[in-house]
Amino acid sequence: MTEQCVLIIDDEPDIRELLEITLLRMGLDTLTAGNVEEAMVQIREHQPDLCLTDMKLPDGNGIDIVRFLQQDYPQIPVAVITAYGSMDTAVEALKAGAYDFVSKPVDLPKLRDLVHTALQLNHGSHGEGPAGTRPEPEPDAGSERILGSSEAMRVLKNTIGKLARSQAPVYIHGESGSGKELVAHEIHLQSPRHKGPFIPVNCGAIPENLMESEFFGHKKGSFTGAVSDKEGLFQAASKGTLFLDEVADLPLTMQVKLLRAIQERAIKPVGGLEEMPVDVRILSATHKSLEHEVAAGHFRQDLYYRLNVIKLKVPPLRERREDIPVLAAHFLGRHGRRYRKDFNGFTDDALQALLQYAWPGNVRELDHVVERAVLLGGGRRIAAADLACRPAPAGPAPDALSLEAMERLLIQKAMERCGGNAEAAAAALGLSRSAMYRRLQKHRLP
């Protein structure tokens, strides 16, 4: 078949016919099946470009189809059709690897939009081999991948692989420094959107009076200082992923506008007259409890449910202590290269100190501790005396203040070396743009 083909799986002939007519009018070829067994035969014989499956089928359910595709044909996206109000079932399908879901009665314009986006993202992603698997994309220049082989990280990586196939919003929660942005980036890198941009934004770092313009862009002359049209973050992330870090810091007025943009998949630039469609996947995170923020009236419940379609927890470092040696070795290599110092690992006492420490600042704190040791260490191996951490059962790091002072000094020096260019300084320090702006704001640096 030269045209793109969609397999419709539903046991009700009327619904199959309605969906088939809709897709044929879009210029697509179609196949149909009335149950799980027929669907698996069609998939094996024709390997369609997309599957649309009802959740309730005579010999199983839509999740059976999702799992079958996830196992044998991971390049084929699948969307499920659920009964109205069956959100739990839809989320279960998304966690199993479904691309998206639609509720009955089917909203045909939204269905057409879903099909168009899924086929567009999946175009050209079919790989070689019997399962048609797509090679894992290489990370962007300067980016890191998730390290660790503990059980907690094995579960996390497995979940990321499934969620990456989905279009649904994911709310990533975890303690400060646990690596939420890295997880968001990994979801993007493994998704069909990996060739598109990954745009991280620290919601707490944008002045409230500029927030609408930053997110949605503006037209020339729309306000004082708007000397030309400006593209917003939603437009910059087109065909890719927009990561809203510290989303709990959004003011209520902006939450309303963000909710509308997510619901309508369209934005209106400041000063613009018409809405513009946007094709963006939303990932969000915060170290705060969104549930508590909703209960306190600081965060809109309707936006919370839109962002929290799937909730993904990033484990703190104290729950994955077996990963500390590999993380420490990674940071030692990175900082050793940056500061042109050659170290041959850690002493046994140093490793014991790292393993026994509580790590309230998580992976970010480990990174800082190793960097300090690289700067101050004088031997061939990092010793326990070089580390700004002490074994402790819980609570804040004893040397937290000295670490803060060292971090401030490092950032200040990097900014000076880069002539005040924050993005260049971030690259020099191995930080993401949003992480750099968070630190500049925290230390009140220009």
Q: What is the CATH number of domain 318-442?
A: 1.10.8.60
Give the integer Cα–Cα distance in Å for 2 and 82. Answer: 30
pLDDT tens-digit readout, 396-437:
444 444 656 667 777 887 788 788 888 887 777 766 777 788
Residue 294 contacts by C-beta under 8 Å, 6 or more apart in sequence? 300, 301, 304
User: Where in the chain is CATH 3.40.50.2300?
Assistant: 5-122
The pLDDT of residue 21 is 94
Under 8 Å between Cβ of 176 and 194: no
Q: Please say whether the dihedral angle defined by the alpha carbons of residues 104, 110, 112 and 117, taken in this order, is positive or negative.
A: negative
What is the pTM for the complete model shown? 0.75
The pLDDT of residue 443 is 82
- Give 75-111 as a DSSP string: TS-EEEEE-TT-HHHHHHHHHHT--EEEESSP-HHHH
Q: What are the two backbone dihedrals, phi and then psi, of residue 374, each rounded to the nearest 5 degrees?
A: -65, -40
Under 8 Å between Cβ of 241 and 257: no
Quick check: helix, strand or coil at residue 40? helix
Q: What is the DSSP letter of 218?
A: B
Q: Which amino acid is at 161?
A: G
- Residue stretches of the chain with pLDDT short of 70: 1-2, 84-85, 123-144, 390-406, 430-431
User: Where in the chain is CATH 1.10.8.60?
Assistant: 318-442
Please, is 143 exposed, middle or buried when counting C-beta atoms within 10 Å of its C-beta (0-12, 13-18, 19+)?
middle
The pLDDT of residue 406 is 65
User: Where in the chain is CATH 3.40.50.300?
Assistant: 151-315
Q: What is the CATH number of domain 5-122?
A: 3.40.50.2300
What residues form DSSP beta bridges with 244? Answer: 201, 284
Quick check: helix, strand or coil at residue 131? coil
Q: What is the DSSP letter of 305?
A: H
Please, is 273 exposed, middle or buried when counting C-beta atoms within 10 Å of its C-beta (0-12, 13-18, 19+)?
exposed
Q: Please say whether the dihedral angle defined by the alpha carbons of residues 211, 262, 314 and 373, taken in this order, is positive or negative.
A: negative
How far CA 124 is from CA of 49, 76, 201, in Å, comes to 10, 11, 29
- Give 229-287 as a DSSP string: -B--HHHHTTTSEEEEETGGGS-HHHHHHHHHHHHHTEE--BT-SS-EE---EEEEEES
The pLDDT of residue 127 is 41
281-286 and 241-245: which strand pairing?
parallel
Six token digits for residue 5: 């083909």
Span 151-315 CATH architecture = 3-Layer(aba) Sandwich (3.40)
The pLDDT of residue 397 is 44
The pLDDT of residue 400 is 46
pLDDT tens-digit readout, 194-241:
999 999 999 989 999 899 999 999 998 888 888 888 999 999 999 999
Under 8 Å between Cβ of 81 and 54: yes
For the chain, the first-to-last Cα distance in angstroms comes to 59
Give the integer Cα–Cα distance in Å for 244 and 285. Answer: 6
Quick check: helix, strand or coil at residue 444? coil
The pLDDT of residue 395 is 45
Q: What are the two backbone dihedrals, phi and then psi, of residue 348, each rounded to the nearest 5 degrees?
A: -60, -40
